[in-house]
Amino acid sequence: VNGATGKIEGTRPVVWARVYLAIAAMLLPGLFTGVCLGLPGLALAGVGVFFLILAFIFLIFGIIGSVMVYSHATDEENL
């Protein structure tokens, strides 16, 4: 904070390892559901279709959340 003008200047430290871990945590449920439940379930009379649809929904929400977290982190760093 500049004492003369009162403006906030400079950059904030962002721990990118935490940002990447948060992104991975948002994407893992969709990947896990698709790979571990959906694909093997297809071999069992098409039961895996439900899990693949669920995994796709999880991935969409994970991607949206990941973009939000990443953009927020870059905004904080370039304050």
Say what the pLDDT of residue 18 is: 96
62, part of any domain? yes
63, part of any domain? yes
Say what the pLDDT of residue 1 is: 67
9, part of any domain? no
73, part of any domain? yes
| Structural domains in the chain (count) | 1
pLDDT in tens, the chain (79 residues): 677 887 777 777 889 999 999 999 999 999 999 999 999 998 887 888 999 999 999 999 999 999 999 999 998 887 6
6, part of any domain? no
Say what the pLDDT of residue 23 is: 97
User: Can you say whether residue 31 is alpha, beta or left, with left for phi > 0 and alpha for psi between -120 and 50 degrees?
Assistant: alpha
Burial of 59 (0-12, 13-18, 19+ CB in 10 A): middle
51, part of any domain? yes
The closest alpha carbon to 74, from 2, 24, 66, belongs to 66
2, part of any domain? no
Say what the pLDDT of residue 19 is: 96
What residues make up the domain containing 70? 16-77
